[in-house]
Each structure stands twice: as C-alpha cells, then as structure tokens.
Structure 1
C-alpha cells in the first residue's frame, strides 16, 4: 500500500466537521485549513473516504506542491511529478483549477500549461506523441494560492454531494454535504425527534435518516477511482461490504419534514424513496402557522427562505417573526436555523446560543444555534 497525502475540499465553515469524520474513520494525521482538510492514508483510505464522508466535496490525491510565479516554473513543476504512476496510456486527463492571490491569475493559461506538462511527462513514459484519452477518467485539479501551486488527482468524479437520490429538486436546493454537516453540528442522535418545517426537497430529513441508520452516503454511487488500475477492485468491494454490514437494522426514527408547498412534499417523498429511507420519515403539507407537536426534547433544523430575490424581503422578515413566536411553544427543543439575513436574531426575537459562518453555495450565511434543555437520562 502507498502512503498518500489526501485532500478533502469542503464548503467554508465545515472543515472541523470533515476532520471529525476522518478521525472517526481512523485517520489521525490531519491538517485543517480554510476550505480543505488534508490527511494521510493509502489506497484503502481513498475507498473509505469516498464511501463514508458526508460533509466533504470530494477526495483528491495530492501529487505535489511547489512555488510558481512564472509559467515556466508551473510547467517544470508539473512535469516533475510522477503522473505515470497513476495515469495509464489511454487515461483521460482533463485539467481544471483556480488561482487566488497569485501572479499566474489566468486560469485558462494555467490549465493549458499543466496539461502540456503532463503530456510531456507521459510521452517519455509511453514513448508516443499522441494520447487518445479514451479510457478511465483521471481529472487533474490545480490550485494556485499566493504563488504556491498544488496539483492533485480527483478520485471522486462527480462531487460527493451527488448521493444519487436527488435527480430532480426544487429551486435553490440545499447541498447534501451542507445538510449533513448541519445535522452533525446539531449533535442530533437517532433517539431524539427531528423536524424540518421548511423541508423543500427533503434534504435535511433524508441526510438525518442516513446518519441515524448509519448508511454510508456513497454506498450506491460510483467514483472515478473505481476504474483505476492502481486501486484493486477488492478494496472497493470490501469497503462496500463493510458499509452494508454496519447499517443499523433495528433503529426507530422520529423524523418529520413539513412544507407549505404540496409539490415540495411530493418531491421530498420521492427523494426519500430513492434514498431508501422513506419509511423512516413523515413528510406532510403543513404551513408554519399550524406547526405543533407533543414530542419533547427534539431538534428543529431548517433552511427557511432568505429573501434574496427582489420583493421577497418583507415577506421573509414576517416569516422570521412568525418563527420566533411559534418556536416558543417548542420549549424543550433545540433549533438550528441557516439564513443569510443579517438581522435574523432581531426578527426572530432571541439571541442564538452560538453562531457559525457557513456558505450555502456562493451565499454567505450564518448557522444560528439555539440550545434547549438536555433530555433527562433514561
């Protein structure tokens, strides 16, 4: 097995959640930075991280890092890396990346330079001038940050938020990785009620059910690295078999998702069925004004409307005031609310116990956390 430096890019604000997940998988050599978590593992770690990590965006192999203030330095640095250890003669290797606070600020030019460098390296290995690139996908990712270049191979393919259950969605859906992180930040456990009063496409409720049942989020999808010759297929088979064996079969969940829009409720039910958790979640057409429960010591996690579009702000502010009034009746509950509105606490009528800055896509938001009383010990 190889000793590899692996990188898990994250949405800003949930790096610590990803680090905690990696530790739970048995990886201790972890470095947390803005927007990414780096860890050391082998080929098995590539399989486990892809199948099990809920809150990271993808899993990358870091091949090298070097200073690059000129295109020559970028070319020579990229060419010096051992691409032939991973990319076969027929491998498909597109290049993409980004540049921040660096002299080499033209991303298309950097893409072309890195591509050319990799081709030159592979020419020497395979003794040929042209590569058809009709085989497995080996997507190359680069980052240029403050004139330091990092070059990586993407093992995931599609982003890890693509669980496979949400082929269709309502407008402005919450990304699955962020929804999972919101649930994990709440410290919700499977034996407590969970309610999302603005369920939309059902993402928060579905991710909670997957967590409660210990279903690995990547269990039913494919990853680019499954077709790589360097990673034995047996590692993927063993990882999936272990994940199947670890699913909790005897758990009862109390998860509800409500929405004022009946089409959203239908969509949530459809997505939950695709995820295999429909029997564990109750979705209903319930407007906020009718919200009530007999359950105690539950957790509300929600992504209400933000009022980002013109003409919606006043309506959303009325909604936040109504939330503050209605949530008072949930006196033993904790609630966790994400929104981009800077005046949310004032409108809601209560200061949060804790706040966390998060990004929902490109929208800067705050995750307001209101801690209720702990449930009595059983």
Structure 2
C-alpha cells in the first residue's frame, strides 16, 4: 500500500466535525484549514473515506503543492509531478481551477498551462504525442491560494452529499452533509427520540436514521475512483463489506418528521423509502403549532423557513416568536435550530446556550443550540409514555 495525502473538502464551519469523522476512521490528520482537512492514508482510505464521511463534500488525492509566482513556474513544477503514477495512457484528465489572493489570478490560463504541463509529463512515460482520453476519469484541480498551488485529483465524482436517496426535493432543502453535521453537533443518541417539525423532504430524519443505525452514507452509490486501476476492485469490495458488517440494521429508533405540507410529506416518505430507512421514521402532515408529545426527554433538530428579502423580516420574526412559545412547552427537551435569521434569539424569546456559524450552501446561517437537562440515569425510552401522533394510515 502507498502512503497518500488525501484532502476532505467541507463547507466552511464543518471542518471540526469532518476531522472527527476522519479520526474515527483511523487516519492521521496532517492539517486543518478553512474548508479542507488533509489526512494520511493508503489506497483503501480512498474507498473508506468516500463511503463513510457524512459531512465532507468530496475527497481529493493530493499530487503536489508548491509556490508559483509565474506561469513558467506553474508549468515546470506541475510537469515535474508524478502524473503517470495515477493517470493511465487512455485516462481523461480535464482541469478545473481556482485562484484566491494569488499573482496568477487568471483561472483559464492556469487551467490551460496545467493541462499542457500534465500532457508533457505523460508524453515522457507513454512515448506518444496524442492522448485519446477515452478511459477512466481523473478530474484535476489546480487551486492557488496566497501564491501556493495545490494540484489534486478528485476521487469522488458527484459530491458526497449526493447519497442517492433524494431524487425528490422540497423547496430550499438543507443539504445532506449539513443535516448530518447538525445531528452530530447535537450529540443526539439513538436511544432518544428525535423530532423535526419542519422536515420538508425528510433530510434531517433520514440522516438521523443513517447515523442511528451506523449505515455508511455512501453505501448505495458509486464513486469516480472505482474505475481507477490504481485502486483495486477488491479494496472497494472489502470496504463495502466492512460497511455492511458495521451497520446495525435492527436497532430500534424513534424519529418523527412533520410538516404542514402534505405534498412534501409524500416526498419525504419516498426519499426515506429510497434510503431504506422508511421503517425507522414516522412522517406526518402537521403544523408545528400542533406538535405535542408525552415524552419527557428528546431532541428537536430542525431547519425552519427563513427569508433573506427585506419584506420577509416581519414574517420571520412572527414565525420564530411562535416557535419559541411552542418549543418552551417542551422545556426538558434539547432544541437545535438552523436559520439564516441573525436575530432569531430575540424573536424566539431565549438566548441560546451555544451558537455556531455555518454555511448552508452559500448562505450564512446560525446553529442555535438549547440544551435540555439530562434524563435520569435509569430512565429508558421504553419506560416513557408514547408520543401522541395522528397517524394517517391512508397516506402511508
């Protein structure tokens, strides 16, 4: 096995969560920066990290890093990297680019020069003047930050938030990676009830079910590096077998998702079915104002509607004020709310125990965390009274 440097890219604010996931997989962390965690692994780490990382956007293979103040320097140093160790003679290798606070600011020029340098490097190994590029895909990125060029190859393909289950979405859904991060940041334990009263297309309840049963989020999808000859098929087979062996498919869970829209609840049910966790979640058409339960301890984790246009401010304030009134009735529950509304605490009527700034896509949001009391040590879920639910059997 070869010692590799891999980079897990993340949404800003989720670096610490992704770092913890990587460490739990057993890999050494080399560096944590804004939006990316560099770690050390071998070829099997490409398989396992893609299958298991819940909060990362993708996993990149680092080929090299160097200072580049001129196009000539970028060309020569890129050409000197061991591209033939990874790209076969028929490999496809398009080049993407980024440049931030760097002298080489023309992204199109950086892409063209990087491509030309890689071609020249491969010519030496394969003794040919022409590459058909009709084989496996090796999508390269040249990223310049403060004049440091980092050359990587994407091992993922479609972003890791594309679990494969969310073919149907509601308006303004939270990304799967963000939903998983919210659950992990809440420290929710699968023995406790979890409720999302604004569930939309069901992303938070579905991600909770995957976490609760320890199901690898990428187990039902494919990755671009599965076609690479440098990562043997046996490594992918072994990684998927490990994921199936570690999953606790029979663990009982109590997860509830409600929404006032019957249409989006139907979408949520279908998404949960596609994720194969529909038996773990009770979805119900219900306005959050009618939410009620006899359970004394539990978690509310939600992403309520929020607007950015000036005309929506009064409407948002009224919504969050009403949320505060409803949620306070569950004063022994823990509440975790993601919103882009900066004055949420004022409207909600209570200062959060903790507030974490996160980015949901390109939108700056705040994760307001209200911690409820710990349940008595001997109290189990089975000893509590049941949840009051208005089951609509005809629509399930």
Q: Structure 2-normalised TM-score?
A: 0.94
Q: Secondary structure at the match of 2:46?
A: helix
How far is the alpha carbon of 1:364 from its aligned partner?
0.7
- CA shift, 1:98, in A, is 1.1
Partner of 2:165: 165
State the alpha-carbon separation in 1 of the partners of residues 174 and 164 from structure 2. 15
Three-state SS of the structure 1 residue aligned to 2:258 is strand
CA deviation profile, 1:110-168 (whole Å, cap 9, x unmatched): 11111111111111111111211111110101211000000001111111001000122
CA shift, 1:78, in A, is 1.1
State the distance in 1 between where 2:30 and 2:329 align. Answer: 42
Range that drifts further, 164-173 or 61-70 = 164-173
CA contact (8 A) 1:332 1:372 kept: yes
Pairing 1:145–2:174 present:
no
**Distance in structure 2 (CA, Å) of the matches to 1:311 and 1:266:** 30
> Matches of 2:257 and 2:196 in 1, distance apart?
5
Q: Distance in 1 between matches of 2:249 and 2:204?
A: 21
Could you list the per-position Cα deviations for residues 183-233 of structure 1 after superposition, in whole angstroms to 9, with x for gaps in the alignment?
A: 000000110010111111110110000000110001011111111001110
In structure 2, the partner of 1:277 is 277
Q: How does 1:126-141 map to 2 (within 5 A)?
A: 126-141=126-141
RMSD of equivalent CA atoms: 1.0
Aligned to 1:92: 92
Q: CA deviation at 1:312?
A: 2.8
Alignment partner, residue 352 of structure 1? 352
Which 5+ residue runs of structure 1 have no aligned equivalent? none
Whether the aligned pair in 1 keeps the contact of 2:28 and 2:41 (CA below 8 Å) is no
Give yes or no for contact 2:304–2:337 (8 Å, CA) kept in 1: yes
Q: CA contact under 8 A between 2:19 and 2:29: conserved in structure 1?
A: no
Question: What SS does the corresponding residue of 1:358 show, helix, strand or coil?
Answer: strand
Could you tell me how far apart the structure 1 residues matched to 2:104 and 2:173 are?
Answer: 34
Residue in 2 that maps onto 1:223:
223
What is the CA distance between 1:307 and its match in structure 2? Answer: 1.1
CA distance in 1, matches of 2:298, 2:28: 33
Specify the SS of the correspondent of 2:311: coil
Q: In the aligned structure 2, how far is the partner of 1:249 from the partner of 1:183?
A: 19
3-state SS of the aligned residue for 1:182? helix
Counterpart in 1 of 2:181? 181
- Contact persistence 2:31–2:37 (CA under 8 A): yes
Distance of 1:307 and 1:313 partners within structure 2: 7
1:154-303 paired onto structure 2 within 5 Å: 154-303=154-303
- Counterpart in the other structure of 2:391: none
Q: Is residue 214–residue 247 contact of structure 1 (8 Å, CA) maintained in 2?
A: yes
Contact 1:265–1:285 (Cα < 8 Å) also in 2: yes
Alignment-derived partner of residue 120 in structure 2:
120
Answer yes or no: is the 8 Å Cα contact 1:213–1:247 preserved in 2.
yes
SS in 1 for 2:300: strand
Pairs aligned (count):
378
- 1:59-78 → structure 2 map (5 Å cutoff): 59-78=59-78
Partner SS state of residue 58, structure 1? strand
Aligned-partner Cα distance in 2 for 1:30–1:332: 41
Is the CA contact 2:304–2:339 (under 8 Å) kept in the aligned structure 1?
yes
Q: Is the 8 A contact 1:94 1:139 kept in 2?
A: yes
Aligned partners of 2:29 and 2:37 also within 8 Å: no
For residues 306 and 97 of structure 1, the distance between their equivalents in structure 2, rounded to whole angstroms, comes to: 33
Secondary structure of the corresponding residue to residue 305 of structure 2: coil
**Runs of at least 5 residues in structure 2 that lack an aligned partner in the other structure:** 379-396
Separation (CA, whole Å) in 2 of partners of 1:210 and 1:203: 11
Task: Give the superposition deviation at 1:310.
Answer: 5.6
User: In the alignment, is the contact (CA less than 8 A) between 1:19 and 1:30 conserved in 2?
Assistant: no
SS at match of 1:29: strand
Deviation at 1:75, TM superposition (A): 1.1
Contact 1:194 1:256 survives alignment (8 Å):
yes
